[in-house]
Structure 1
Amino acid sequence: MLSGNGEGMDNLLVSGADSAPLRVLLAHGAGAGMDSPFMEAMALGLAENGWQVLRFEFPYMQRQRSSGKKRPPDKAEVLLTSFREQVEALVQDKPLVIGGKSMGGRMASLLADALLDEQAIQACICLGYPFHPLGKPDRLRTEHLAGLRTPTLIVQGERDAMGRHDEVSHYPLSEQLQLAWMPDGDHSFKPRKSSGHSESTNWALAVRAMDQFLTKLLSSTERTQQA
């Protein structure tokens, strides 16, 4: 169905071989598209570990590319519809995990349980989840996360301004949700120089966390199918 590394196909960037045992469909964040350095690092890192990653863009980002003018994100209903359309367009011949960066990950988490019930996906990955808007810690975006039934991994910077470690530790979150903390990382996992960590090592750590999550998920899926 899909092949190649980093090839564009109908609003998709595909990284990793078509023979991969599992696919990951990733959406971008609010301010940067599917080819941002962050998205590229996550996708290629997973591909190097044997997974196939498909990146797509929401309608507003496609319009921004064609017009050259910066545009605000579409309303949530449009984003969710666009995400679902991408899932439905894929041939369901192997396990599928959905996710994304920031806003994209949030949209994935909002769709996850419905798609799980439809047997369209197996899990969700959020990279830098926006637990609350910037500077508004009282406006939580966690209600659906408390009862989430889909196995979900959130990779989060320890000092993310939209959900720091000390804040998130107090949120009521589903037992299906795992958290992987990036040392001193911000919303894109970049640490301060004084921390002794680096952006590249944190990005590699994020890829490792996702790889471990996917490996365990695939093993569990295979055992279920054999039972």
Structure 2
Amino acid sequence: MSKFSFYMAHGAGLGHSGGFLDKFGVTFCRTQKMNYLPLTFEYMSEIEASGKRRPPTRFPQLVDEFRNKLDQNASLNSLVVAGKSMGGRVASQLSSDERVAAIVCLGFPFYQQGKPEKHRLSFLHEINKPCLIIQGTRDAFGKPEWVKQQTLNPNIKVHWFEGADHDFNMLKSLNKNQSQVIEEINDVIKSWVDLDFNIEA
């Protein structure tokens, strides 16, 4: 069993059932040496149970909820906390937890959709652990021409996927589907973690 565990939080509008994260989790469990622990916030559990849409809980409460989930597995250490979109923004606030070894963000929402002036760089300033952000070049929440102009925290590495949008769907002209991209995303994560932390099964 791996000495690392990988907590994955979902985005604002869709949980782990169906869509990108469903495929990602299956591929992760097949290809990685880490324990995969999907984290569903309480508001999303209520959506899934009732079928009624509702906005996410206030952000500070989401951070507390993520931290509480870690506390429920207090025996685990050497954690990688991760998230898709909003979930990555929440995970980024846990770097001060001594159990957290690294952070992975898939499709980080650098700013509100199409509004770079309403950016969220402040969420990245205090990160004191290695952080990998995997981003598509067509992501409306953080395009490369804007992100590359910013001075990011030196603990952060950004890996770009050419032609991918916020959910890592690809341009048809590139002859690559989302499932293939998910395989490549997992390769990127594995290489990054193996290099920095020398994970062994």
Q: TM-score range by the shorter chain?
A: over 0.9
Equivalenced residue count is 199
Counterpart of 1:35? 17
Which structure 2 residues correspond to residues 166-181 of structure 1 after superposition, within 5 A? 166-181=145-160
Which range moved further: 153-162 or 143-152? Answer: 143-152
Counterpart of 2:92? 109
The two structures, once aligned, show a CA RMSD in angstroms of 1.7
Counterpart of 2:166? 187
Alignment partner for residue 83 of structure 1, among 66, 70, 91?
66
Are 1:101 and 1:127, in contact at CA under 8 Å, matched by a contact in 2? yes
C-alpha deviation, 1:75, in angstroms: 0.7
Are 1:161 and 1:186, in contact at CA under 8 Å, matched by a contact in 2? yes
Which range moved further: 206-215 or 24-33? Answer: 206-215
Residue-by-residue CA offset, 1:1-35 (whole Å, 9 max, x unaligned) = xxxxxxxxxxxxxxxxxx22311001000110122
Q: Does 1:150 align with 2:132?
A: no
TM-score computed with the length of structure 2 as normaliser: 0.92
Secondary structure of 1:137's counterpart equals strand
Letter in 1 for 2:14: A
Alignment partner for residue 182 of structure 2, among 187, 203, 215?
203
Q: Distance in 2 between matches of 1:21 and 1:31?
A: 32
TM-score computed with the length of structure 1 as normaliser: 0.82
Counterpart of 1:14? none
- Indicate how the Cα distance of structure 1 residues 66 and 197 shifts in structure 2: closer, same or farther if over 3 A, else same: closer
Counterpart of 1:164? 143
Counterpart of 1:68? 51
Which structure 2 residues correspond to residues 85-100 of structure 1 after superposition, within 5 A? 85-100=68-83
Secondary structure of 2:119's counterpart equals coil
Secondary structure of 1:26's counterpart equals strand
C-alpha deviation, 1:94, in angstroms: 4.2
Which runs of at least 4 in structure 1 moved beyond 6 Å after TM superposition? none
C-alpha deviation, 1:149, in angstroms: 1.5
Counterpart of 2:41? 58
Which range moved further: 198-207 or 160-169? Answer: 198-207
Letter in 2 for 1:154: I
Counterpart of 1:6? none
Unmatched tracts of structure 1, length 5 or more:
1-18, 223-227
C-alpha deviation, 1:216, in angstroms: 2.0
Counterpart of 1:9? none
C-alpha deviation, 1:147, in angstroms: 4.2
Letter in 2 for 1:210: I
Are 1:128 and 1:188, in contact at CA under 8 Å, matched by a contact in 2? yes
C-alpha deviation, 1:37, in angstroms: 2.9
Counterpart of 1:133? 112
C-alpha deviation, 1:66, in angstroms: 2.0
Are 1:124 and 1:153, in contact at CA under 8 Å, matched by a contact in 2? yes
| Identity value in percent | 31
Q: Distance in 1 between matches of 2:197 and 2:26?
A: 19
Letter in 2 for 1:35: S
Q: Distance in 2 between matches of 1:102 and 1:158?
A: 15
Q: Distance in 2 between matches of 1:183 and 1:196?
A: 12
